[in-house]
Structure 1
C-alpha cells in the first residue's frame, strides 16, 4: 500500500472512530447513553435467569464466599509523600478497583470503596489496603461509573476531595454537596500538572431503578511527567482498547480480572483474565496490573481463581513475568517510562 493510500486509510479510520464516539456519547431516543457498538445492559430476563432460575435449578457454579488474598501492611510514611515531577509514579492497590495513584506531587484515588461493606451489606473479603484515616491528602477522586462498588458515596464523603467522573454525575455529586467535574469520552481536565482523560469502556451505569445508563461510564488515562497510567474501570473486552492504546503510550494498564462467571452473562460487561491479557496486548501497554478480584463476592467464580487463570494465560502467551503483576492488597509499585519496579516491601509482618 502506498503512503498516500495508507494515510487515507488512517484518516478514514480516525473519522469513523470519531463518528462512533460522538454517537455513543449522544443520548439515544430514550435519553440514555449506549456503548460504542450501540449495546445496552442485559435485559431483565437475562438477569433473572442468572440470579434466580439458574440458582434454583442448580446450573450456577458454586464457590465459597471468602478466600485468602495476599495483603501487606502499607508503608504509610512513604505514601504520605507523593513523588515529585521527574520521579517515578507510584500505584498502590487498595483492593477491588480502588487505587491510590501518586505522581508529580499529586495524590489521586481511583474508584475508592474503602469501608467494611458496600451498598446492601456486601462485606469485604479483605480489608482495604489503606484505611481512609491513613490516606495522604487527596487532590481528586476519579470515579469510572455509578455502580456501588466503584462509586461508594460514604467513602467519598469521608475523603473530602473533588471528583472527576463521567457525564451526568456532576449534578448528582453537587446535590450531595461534593464538587465534581464531568467529562465525556476523550474529554480531559488537569489536577495540578497531571492530565486526566476519560476514555470509553464497554459497560453500563445504574444507581437506582429508574436511572439505567443515565450517566456515562468509562476509564481514565492519567498522564504525568514520568509515566502514563490507564485504569479501565469496569469493562468487557471491546475493540476500543486498540484506539486507547493508539492515542496514549501506556506504561501501566490497571485491568480487571474478576467477576466473569458465568461467561454467557458476564462477558458483555466484565472481562475474564484471558480477555484482560488480550486487552493489555491491544493497548500495547508496557506493564499489566491486575484489579477487580478478591475483594467482593460479586459473581460465581472462587475469589482466588482469577490470578491462577491470569498466570496460565501469561505463560501461554509467552509474556515475561515482570510485565504482568498481581499486587498484594496494600502493595505499592513504582512505574516510569524506563523500567517498572516494585517498592521494597515493608519490614513489618504481612496481615
Structure 2
C-alpha cells in the first residue's frame, strides 16, 4: 500500500460547487433526476419479459480477447513518455502515466457477484503490476467488485458515501464530490478528478443513491485521460470538455442500451457515445462497457458495428476511434 502522504485530497478549482441532493439527502444528477421509478423498472424487467415485448438475443457472443503483454505493462511510463491504457473488460482499465499505475472500475473476479462473464478478465489480480490506487466510478456490482479490491489492497478513490462500504473491507478510501480531486503518487503526482455523470447508484434495498456516481479525469504532466463511468448522454460532457481541454483519450461506454426507452436515462448507445465524444473535444475515442456481461437486450457483439456505421456517417477519421480487444494495450502517442 502506498503511504498516506501519496494520496492527498484537494479541492478542485470550483469551491462554490454544491453537490446536488434531493429533499431526503440522496444524490441526484445535475438536472435533478434520480433513479427511475420502480414502476418503470418493473415494466422492463417483468411485464415486457412476460408479454414477449423484449428483444431476444443470445447470451453469448465472440468478443476479441488477447493476453495482456505483461512485460509491456510491468512498469508505468515515465514522465514525458506516452500514457498507456489497457482494457481489462467492461469498464475496467489499467491507466499508466507519469510513473503511476491506476486501475479504474476493476472487476477481475472469475465469478463476480450477480454477473456472468462472456469473456474472461484481461488480467488476474495476481498478474497485475504494482497499482498505486484503484478508482471506482460508482457502487453497482459491475463496477465495484469488493473481491477484486480486497485482493488488490490498493487505496481507493471513489464518490461520496462509498467509504463505509470500502473501509469495512479494510480498504483505505478517499471520497470525492464532483469537481474534487485527489493527487496520487509522489509529488507532483497524477491528479484524479471526479466529474459528473448521468446515472444512479444502488447495491441493496436501502441505499438508493446514497453513494455518489461519476467519471474520472486523470491528469499527468502532459497528458489527460477521461473515463466516463456509467452515464447517459447529458449536457455535462460539454462542461467537462471546457474544464479539461485537449483530453488525449475519452473512454466511453457503447453497450447496455436496449431498449432505448428504458436505458437512455442511464446508458448511451454507440451513436450517443460519439455525440458525447464530440462534445468533450477529446483527441481519441476508446470504446468500453460492451461484450463482457449480458446486461441488456441487444446482442453482445452489436455495439462495435453500430459505432463504426455512425463513425462513417459522421465522417470522423477512423484513426481517432479505437475499439480495443479485451487485454489490448494502447499507447497514447
TM-score range, shorter chain: over 0.9
1:320 has 2:317 as partner: yes
2:279 matched to 1:286?
no
The 5 A counterparts of 1:75-86 are: 75-86=69-80
In the alignment, which of 251, 258, 271 is matched to residue 248 of structure 2?
Answer: 251
SS in 2 for 1:90: strand
Matched residues in 1 for 2:229 and 2:164: separation? 21
Deviations 1:191-238 (Å, cap 9, x if unpaired)? 011000000000000110110000110000000123100000000000
Measured in 2, the distance between the counterparts of 1:209 and 1:236 equals 23
Structure-to-structure mapping, 1:231-246, within 5 angstroms: 231-246=227-242
Does structure 1 residue 297 correspond to structure 2 residue 294? yes
TM-score, structure 2 normalization = 0.93
The corresponding residue for 2:59 is: 65
Q: Confirm or deny that 1:135 pairs with 2:128.
A: yes
> In the alignment, is residue 115 of structure 1 matched against residue 115 of structure 2?
no
Pairing 1:184–2:181 present: no
Residue equivalent to 2:222: 226
Mapped partners of 2:117, 2:36: distance in 1: 26
Q: Tell me the alpha carbon deviations over residues 83-103 of structure 1, each in whole angstroms, 9 at most, x when there is no partner.
A: 011100000000000000001
Aligned to 2:193: 197
Cα offset, 1:18, TM superposition: 8.8
Task: List alignment gaps of at least 5 residues for structure 2.
Answer: 1-13
Partner deviation per Cα, 1:229-253 (whole Å, 9 max, x = no partner):
0000000000000000001021100
Alpha-carbon displacement from aligned partner over 1:59-116 (angstroms, at most 9, x marks no partner): 0001000000001121101111110111000000000000000011111000000112
Question: Which deviations, in whole Å up to 9, do the C-alpha atoms of 1:176-203 show, x marking residues without a partner?
Answer: 2110000000000100110000000000
Give CA deviations for 1:22-60 in whole Å, capped at 9, x if unaligned: 2xx243211200000000111111111101110111100
1:52 to 46, 57, 82: 46
1:134-173 superposed matches below 5 A? 134-173=127-166
Equivalent residue of 1:118, what SS? coil
Report if aligned partners of 1:89, 1:226 keep a CA contact under 8 Å in 2.
Answer: no
For 1:165 and 1:154, how far apart are their aligned partners in 2? 16
Give the aligned partner of residue 5 of structure 1: none
Structure-1 separation of matches of 2:139 and 2:233: 19
Cα separation, 1, equivalents of 2:83 and 2:239:
24
Work out whether 1:104 is the aligned partner of 2:115: no
What are structure 1's unaligned runs of at least 5 residues? Answer: 1-16, 341-351
Q: Cα distance, 1:316 vs. partner?
A: 0.5
Structure number with the higher helix fraction is 1
Contact 1:252–1:289 (CA<8 Å) still a contact in 2?
A: yes
Looking at structure 1, the residues matched to 182 and 299 of structure 2 have their Cα atoms a distance apart, in angstroms, of 38
Q: Cα deviations across residues 328-349 of structure 1 (Å, max 9, x unaligned)?
A: 00000011xxxx4xxxxxxxxx
Distance in 2 separating the partners of 1:163 and 1:299: 29
Please give the per-residue CA displacement for 1:308-345, whole angstroms capped at 9, x wherever unaligned: 0000000011000110100000000011xxxx4xxxxx
4+ residue stretches of structure 1 with deviation over 2 A? none
Q: Is the CA contact 1:199–1:219 (under 8 Å) kept in the aligned structure 2?
A: yes
Q: Which residue of 2 aligns with 1:29?
A: 23
Whether the 8 Å contact between 1:219 and 1:231 is mirrored in structure 2 is: yes
Aligned counterparts of 1:241 and 1:26: Cα–Cα separation in 2: 17
**Normalising to structure 1: TM-score of the pair?**
0.88
Provide the rounded CA distance (Å) in 1 between the counterparts of 2:111 and 2:275.
32
